[in-house]
Chains A and B, each alone.
Chain A
Amino acid sequence: MSASAAVATPGRPSRIGLRLVALGYLALLLALPVGLVFYRTFESGVAPVWEAVTTPEAMHAFYLTCVMVAIAVPANTVFGVVCAIVLVRHRFRGKNVVNALIDLPFAISPVVIGLALLLVYGREGWFGGWLLDHGIQVIFSPVGMVLATIFVSLPFVVREVMPVLREVGDEQEQAASTLGANGWQTFWRVTLPAIRWGVGYGVVLATARALGEFGAVSVVSGKLVGRTETLPLQVEERFQRFDLTGAYSAAVVLALMALVVVLSMNLLKPKDRKV
């Protein structure tokens, strides 16, 4: 191993040089800025931070962020598994179009997503007027924010489950149905246990995205403090009011949540995937 590594990789000095460049880039772009925000937040102790994250507005923003995740992620998990099964196991015309549609939320600007929801559910939108007449306000209310969050976090579960479904094949499912299991039983007893790690990884990724969504939610929320303000919106609002401690504190809460997500990503990462 050592002999082959010696010929296959450049000499020691250039290897260390490359390592320093790579680590330096990561430090300047990632580690130092994030580290500095943590330092600045706790510069004058924990008390002001605790005060900033326990104001009624901050508590409500935290609560609302959790509500977004609690609705968007399960919805995307259920429908994500359904979409993955349809795309892998079924053959039908227009499948390519459906497949392409799933990736769109990855590639579209969040502001465009917000605008799209505005044009459908706003007062003058396609369904907005009718819904308002029936007492349902979507735009400038948590309902629209949930829709925006679902939109941006839609692809994750589908994209993690699809390769797993392909990998496991459908022999076991066919065996189950030959033995008399109905579609529902086959799904619960055979398909779901086989794809559970893929589902778990997709859920973690979707949670990260749902927690932090800013642009799309910003457009449809109306930014009503204490009513339609999530944590990411609160970071911006406090920053614009020159409340740096408040903005940093809210940011640190989000960063800690992100850290938990990154850690679970490493725990749940599919076994056959090396990175």
Chain B
Amino acid sequence: MPSGQLFTRGLAVAWLSVIVLIPLAAVVARSTEDGLGAFWTSVTNPQAVAALKLTLLVSVVVVLVNAVTGTLIAWVLVRDDFRGKSVVNSIIDLPFALPTIVAGLTLLALYGSKSPVGINVAYTQVAVLLALLFVTLPFVVRAVQPVLLELDRDMEEAAASLGAGGLTTFRRIIFPNLVPALLAGTALGFARSVGEFGSIVLISGNIPFDTEVASVFIFGQIETDNVTGAAAVSVVLLAISVLLLTGIAALGRWGAKHER
């Protein structure tokens, strides 16, 4: 039995090393291959800084919008009742299943230069925001929804019978219970936004210093054979990912403790 255990463990570690660890190690190694000075020059290149700034800024906006709309949609799906609710509930997962390039194309069809409603945001920062809102839509909804379902209604009824209005009940009773799930959902959405590529390439126009996000910048550097520069900015994104994952894991432990 122990030898069998050792074998499966070795298999798992070997698989993860070959697929994930070694390639990522190569990125880190390449970024500092020409010394830390070269790494710093690549990361502080104005075009890279502009791309990183835009990426982080838009991702923060995405988080804020998602926190509100995601909670609202989850609330409507749990507490409201209307015909076709189950259909609405299933299309929430569509952004997870729809290929990102198709997501970009669909948004461009409605909000691009050939828009039938006359709204053209193509090649603007609004387009980047729109694409990110599309692909991150399910995260907050799917994180908050189960918590709302499990929530004990007694507390709300008590609050209401003590004279609290709908908004006060939500703010004082419902919202505090949603916080761990809300944070986890928005953090996942943030991580997704920071790295997103496919849904953005068509609709953003990829204009340097304007609508070029970090992923697109890295892609451009690879295409023009500046692999070290690409690796350096990749390391920044990697660091953000690792930081976020660590935060989400800590949040999960805190949430689990919070429930007890």
Q: Which residues of A contact B (CB under 8 A)?
A: 4, 7-11, 14-15, 18-19, 21-23, 25-26, 29-34, 36-37, 40, 79, 82-83, 85-87, 90, 92, 98, 100-120, 125-126, 147, 150-151, 154, 177, 183, 205, 208, 211-215, 218-219, 231-233, 235-236, 239, 247-248, 251, 254-255, 258-259, 261-263, 265-266, 273-275
**A87 CA to B1 CA, complexed, in Å:** 17
From B80, B93, B166, B216, contact of A262 by CB (8 A): B93
| Contact status B157-A8, CB under 8 Å | yes
- Scan B146-184; emit 1 where CB is below 8 A from any A CB, else 0: 100100010011001100001101000000000000000
Residues of B within 8 A of A114 (CB): 222
Question: Given A126-B26, A232-B99, does the pair A109, B231 have CB atoms closer than 8 Å?
Answer: no
Chain B residues positioned under 8 Å from A7 (CB to CB)? 156-157, 160-161
Q: Residues of A contacting B106 with CB < 8 Å? A: 33-34, 36-37, 251
A selection of 30 A-B contacts at a CB cut-off of 8 Å is A7-B157, A9-B79, A19-B76, A22-B76, A25-B73, A29-B137, A79-B11, A82-B8, A82-B11, A86-B8, A90-B9, A101-B20, A104-B20, A109-B196, A109-B218, A112-B238, A117-B23, A120-B26, A126-B26, A147-B19, A151-B20, A154-B19, A205-B96, A214-B100, A219-B222, A232-B198, A235-B101, A239-B105, A259-B97, A275-B89
Across the A-B interface, the 7 shortest Cβ-Cβ residue pairs? A212-B99, A109-B195, A10-B166, A116-B23, A214-B198, A215-B197, A119-B26
| Interface of B: prevailing SS | helix
A4 touches B196 (CB 8 A): no
Q: Which of A18, A36, A231, A273 contacts B76 (CB 8 A)?
A: A18
Q: B60 contacts the other chain (Cβ, under 8 Å)? A: no
* Residue interface mask B237-260, A partner, CB < 8 A = 1: 110011011100100000000000
Q: Which residues of A contact B49 (CB under 8 A)?
A: none
A266/B149 contact (C-beta < 8 A), A15-B80, A112-B27, A151-B23 known: no
A34 to B109, CA, bound (A): 9
In Å, the complex CA distance between A21 and B38 comes to 50
Please give me the residue from chain B that is nearest to A116 by CB atom.
Answer: B23
- B4 CB-CB contact with A under 8 Å: yes
Residues of A near B227 (CB, < 8 A) are: 115, 118-119
Q: Please encode chain B, from 59 to 97, with 1 for each CB lying within 8 Å of some chain A CB and 0 for all others.
A: 000000000010011011101101000001111111111
The answer to whether A26 touches B231, judged by C-beta atoms less than 8 angstroms apart, is no
B57 at interface by CB-CB < 8 Å: no
Residue of B nearest to A20 (CB): B76
Instruction: Give, as a whole number of angstroms, the nearest-CB distance from A265 to chain B.
Output: 6
A85 to B13, CA, bound (A): 12
Cα distance, A263 to B26, chains bound together (Å): 39
Partner of B222, one of A22, A115, A213, A274: A115
Q: How far is the CA of A83 from the CA of B251 in the complex (A)?
A: 23
Give complex CA distance A261, B102 in Å. Answer: 15
Rounded to whole Å, the gap between the CB of B218 and the closest CB of chain A is: 5
B241 and A262 contact, CB distance less than 8 A:
no
Chain B residues, Cβ within 8 Å of A8? 153, 156-157, 160, 169
B27 interface neighbour in A82, A116, A151, Cβ under 8 Å: A116
Q: Does B214 contact A (CB under 8 A)?
A: yes
CB atoms of B230 and A115 under 8 A apart: yes
- A87 cross-chain contacts in B, Cβ below 8 A: 12
By a beta-carbon cutoff of 8 Å, the part of chain B in contact with chain A is: 1, 4-5, 8-9, 11-13, 15-16, 19-24, 26-27, 29-30, 69, 72-73, 75-77, 79-80, 82, 88-102, 105-107, 109-111, 116, 130, 133-134, 137, 142, 145-146, 149, 153, 156-157, 160-161, 166-167, 169, 188, 191-192, 194-198, 201-202, 214-216, 218-219, 222, 227, 230-231, 234, 237-238, 241-242, 244-246, 249
Given contacts A23-B88, A90-B5, A98-B12, contact A214 B238 (CB under 8 A): no
For A120, what are the chain B residues with a Cβ–Cβ distance below 8 Å? 22-23, 26
Most buried by B among A14, A104, A111, A151: A111
Q: In the assembled complex, which residues on chain B have CB atoms less than 8 Å from the CB atom of A106?
A: 188, 191-192
Bound together, the chains give a CA A23 to CA B29 distance in angstroms of 48
Residue from B95, B156, B167, B188 in contact with A30 in the complex, judged by beta carbons closer than 8 Å: B95
Give B156's nearest chain A residue, CB to CB.
A8
Contact A261 B110 (CB under 8 A): no
Write the chain B residue with the least CB distance to A212. B99
Provide the bound-state CA to CA distance between A126 and B26, in Å.
8
Q: Are A30 and B26 in contact (CB under 8 A)?
A: no
Which of A34, A112, A247 is B195 in contact with, Cβ under 8 Å?
A112
The minimal Cβ–Cβ distance linking A233 to chain B, given in whole angstroms, is 8
